[in-house]
Amino acid sequence: MNRIVECFARLKRTGKKGFIVYIGAGDPSLAATRGLALAFDQAGVDVLELGVPFSDPLADGLVNQLAAQRGLGSGTTPSKILATVAAIRKSSEIPIILYIYFNLIHRVGLERFIEDAAKAGVDGLLVLDLPPEESDGYEALMRKAGLCHIYLVAPTTPEDRIEFIVKRGSGFIYYISREGVTGMQQQVASNLAPQVAKIRAHTKLPIAIGFGISTPEQAKAVAAAADAVVVGSAVVNQIAEHGNSKDLVARVSVFVKSLAGAVKSI
């Protein structure tokens, strides 16, 4: 069974909420990415999203844009990320999603990229700029490889389109809790419960909420409305702050563990 599907099935059986962390792959190095992944597995992270560095990350705010720049600066490429995933797989079964822009997949070739990702131990792809209407061939190849294709739903998505999107997705649905790009926020959205209910009316897939969640208190509040909570920029910001420290993994893991504890307390 796919690790993402298995993870959410286990969470449902145990009545627990999921905790998903996003980091930029190769920030500050791929060795650090591997170390962080293994530490996060022990710190309570259920699913890891690895952002594949791209020169024009339109969906990302400043924190993640800078992480992408640092990843590119460290020489990170999609093939090197897959090699890092394979290295992680020697010690960990943490579910891994690649957060990626389609141009990077197209450059390699759709079928080859998906096959290589599955072989390396990737469990799913979240392709930021590939709408479901253009995804027939992509979805078929993903199903063949046993990978989950994760789709996004936004606060501005009309209900008929929500129905269309969620019926095409697999693994879980990623609900963007606010309009705009990624980034830390002072407050979480106040309308999460009705928005999640609108999505749940059309799917049995788990619903994860992300974008803007920055503190344990916010993570706990969001967990009350969702099946899983996604934290990205706040963790990436910690990596930026401690990137030159020999204690990078330990320092970031303390913060991640505080978020995981808040999510699991629901």
* Pairing mode, strands 228-231 and 18-24: parallel
Find the angle CA(60)-CA(252)-CA(97) to the nearest 5 degrees. Answer: 50
* Structure tokens given for 86: 């394979």
98 beta partners:
50, 125
Q: Pick the catalytic residue: 27, 46, 60, 227?
A: 60
First to last CA, the chain: 27
Q: Distance between CA 238 and CA 243 in Å, rounded?
A: 8
- Is residue 110 classed as helix, strand or coil in its secondary structure? helix
The C-alpha atoms of residue 130 and residue 53 are separated, in whole angstroms, by: 17
Outline where the chain has alpha helix (H): 3-14, 30-43, 62-73, 78-89, 102-108, 110-120, 136-145, 159-168, 192-200, 216-223, 233-242, 248-264
The question of whether 160 is a catalytic residue gets the answer no
Judge whether 142 and 107 are in contact, CB under 8 Å.
no
| DSSP conformational letter for 52 | P
Query: Is-catalytic flag, 49?
Result: yes
CA 248 to chain centroid: 21
Exactly one of 27, 49, 116, 123 is catalytic; name it. 49
Give dist(CA 4, CA 121) in Å, integer: 12
Active site residues: 49, 60
